[in-house]
């Protein structure tokens, strides 16, 4: 019995251990310490989602040893959404909101014009009127460009129309 055991031990020692090369998408792709070495919650969640974008929120927070609070769940979900973000959809959304964004920043533009031309005898409201006119002309040019591209798709007038706006 001892000789058989010794022979088996020798055979097991002669076998070279090989690492498992099958991709593992489970929660043990990296050891837990790999994720826990991040001090900040956001970095820890981001590092985990890089490797495991399909793991649900509760399992992910448990694995990362984070409290299952509303704030941590929100961060996890938003980081997951950010990883699967389609840039075309984002750009369409952003371009759709651009007029509102520019309108809300008009007072800042006016304030910057007022600061640059502080030695002139213009009031703040006069500096506010100028960006409103510039914005109006810009959007009229964009509407004209869109109408021309929609009516005649073979024409490419992007350069000339923007040059017209600059002049």
Question: How does pLDDT run across 18-71, given as a tens digit for each residue?
Answer: 554 444 555 455 556 666 666 677 788 888 888 877 888 888 888 888 888 898
Question: Residue 100 domain-assigned?
Answer: yes
Q: Are residues 91 and 157 in the same domain?
A: yes
Structure tokens at 117: 């031309």
Angle between helix 70-83 and 41-51 (nearest 10): 40
Structure tokens at 8: 């088996």
Question: How does pLDDT run across 126-141, given as a tens digit for each residue?
Answer: 878 888 888 888 888 8
Question: Residue 111 domain-assigned?
Answer: yes
- Residues 147, 130: Cα–Cα separation, whole Å: 26
Domain boundary among 50, 83, 116: 83
Total domains in the fold of the chain = 2
Domain boundary among 83, 98, 123: 83
Sequence-distant contacts of 157-165: CB under 8 A, at least 24 apart: 165/137, 165/138, 165/141
Question: Residue 147 domain-assigned?
Answer: yes
**Structural Rg of the chain based on CA atoms:** 30
Token pair 């690492």 is at which residue? 19
Q: Are residues 101 and 118 in the same domain?
A: yes
The pLDDT assigned to 162 comes to 64
- For residue 120, the enclosing domain spans 87-166
Q: Are residues 103 and 36 in the same domain?
A: no
């Amino acid at each position: 019995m001892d000789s058989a055991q010794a022979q088996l031990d020798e055979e097991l020692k002669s076998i070279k251990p090989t690492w498992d090369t099958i991709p593992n998408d489970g929660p043990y792709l990296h050891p837990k310490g790999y994720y826990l070495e991040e001090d900040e919650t956001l970095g820890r969640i981001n590092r985990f989602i890089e490797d495991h974008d399909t793991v649900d929120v509760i399992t992910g927070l448990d694995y990362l040893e984070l409290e299952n609070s509303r704030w941590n769940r929100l961060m996890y979900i938003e980081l997951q959404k950010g990883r699967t973000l389609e840039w075309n959809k984002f750009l369409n959304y952003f371009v759709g909101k651009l007029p509102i964004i520019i309108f809300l920043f008009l007072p800042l533009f006016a304030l910057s014009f007022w600061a640059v031309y502080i030695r002139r005898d213009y009031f703040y409201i006069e500096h506010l009127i100028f960006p409103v006119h510039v914005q109006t002309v810009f959007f009229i040019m964009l509407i004209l460009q869109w109408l021309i591209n929609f009516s005649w798709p073979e024409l490419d007038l992007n350069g000339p129309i923007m040059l017209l706006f600059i002049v």
